[in-house]
Amino acid sequence: MLELLAYLQDSELVARFQRLCGLIPVEAAHAGRGRTRTANGIPVLAHEGRWDRQDKNSNYTHKQNGHAVGGCSRPQQYEVRNWLLHLLFLFSSGLGHELFYITCLPCIHWNLDPFLCRRLVNMWTVVMYIGQVLKDVLKLPRPLSPPVIKLETRVDAEYGLPSTHAMAATAISFTVLLSAPSRIQFQFEVGLLIAVTLSSLVCLSRLYTGMHSALDVICGASISAILMFLTYPYWDTLDHFQLTSCISPIVALSLPLFLSYTYPELDHYSTTRGDTTTILGVGAGCSIGYWVNEKLGQTFEPQGVLPVPLPTLTANALALGAARFLVGVVALIGTRQVVKTLSLQVLYFWYRVPKHDDSARRRREIEVPYKFATYMTVGLVNSILVNRVFILLGLL
């Protein structure tokens, strides 16, 4: 069993997968920026990545965490020999980033059913919090580079197991699949195929980008599946409490804020605490927003006998959907920028921090409140205001 675990966490296994998919390391002596040639003479583009950096924020420089010390700072060169897979995996990996969460996920609320979005956000928040905490409690390293080619650098300081991309993809895909049959008429087998395909692509993309080992990905998907299995019988109960209880907004605000402030401390800075606070803030804002909508008697859910047919994809429906998407995204991104700027200015003034000191936002007393306030407001705007703006503009 230990041999199997060691094999699944081996960096060389990830490197072999990358080479199998056409992501090939190039020797620095022969690689240059621009065009180079493969062994069979086919010209491809060589790209510049990075070897493990001796950056103070990278967990690979922390021997006490059991990570290898990055001993090379020269650029890492690689060739892309299969552009179809390259673009597919980069796109799939992007499904686990903030840009996707703040743009595409709210479309379920705007264009399909707020009920499904509510279920999705609840499960996503729980799964992601547990995954982020496990990373910083277990402190298992990401794959080493070399031999692995790393296509992302932002999360270098984070630990590896479990893969929260795998957890989120599994939770999002199958929460929608399990919740949708009571709301929308569709062929379950088709939905299952889509859920399996999307979650698998995201999982494989974490190997391709060199950010996770096979063990990280398998554990991430498995933990998410276990959490869904354990919580599924209580989804309706939670939904009723969230919408009708007088203490629901108090719990929705106080519990995520408490979890954000008590997030495990590390001996070096990592993006996990900030990302976790972001997720908890969104969950809190959406939960309060759905409670407010229920009290106002306007939930924007489908009318008629459930499950309702899927909307017909006419040209008019697509145009309205695109318009709602653009208006909604502008509202959310604008809210994010305004509240982030204002909250940072207030906190910098309160703690007497120079405005040009960008590193100060890594301090817990600044990072937690500014991220929580920003993304809680985004959640509130998404759940309460955006659909009402659609009504004013004639888009609903």
Q: Which residues are known catalytic residues? A: 165, 212
Of 190, 194, 189, which is closest to residue 172 (Cα–Cα)? 194
Considering just the CA atoms, what is the radius of gyration of the chain in Å? 22
Burial class of residue 267, CB neighbours in 10 A (0-12, 13-18, 19+):
exposed
Long-range Cβ contact pairs of 354-361 (< 8 A, separation 24 or more): none
Query: Omega of the bond prior to 369 within 30 degrees of 0, cis?
Result: no
Burial class of residue 261, CB neighbours in 10 A (0-12, 13-18, 19+):
middle
Q: 288: which 2 tokens?
A: 């309060």
DSSP per-residue codes, 326-370: HHHHHHHHHHHHHHHHHHHHHHHHHTT--TT-GGGGGSHHHHHHH
How far, CA to CA in Å, does 34 sit from each of 24, 28, 50, 210?
A: 15, 13, 16, 22
Asked whether 74 and 28 are in contact (CB, 8 A), the reply is yes
Q: Are strands 23-26 and 34-37 parallel, antiparallel or unpaired?
A: unpaired
Of 120, 164, 148, which is closest to residue 271 (Cα–Cα)? 164
How far, CA to CA in Å, does 259 sit from each of 236, 243, 262, 311?
A: 24, 22, 5, 39
Name residues whose C-beta falls within 8 Å of residue 290's C-beta, 6 or more positions apart in sequence: 114, 118, 242, 243, 299, 383
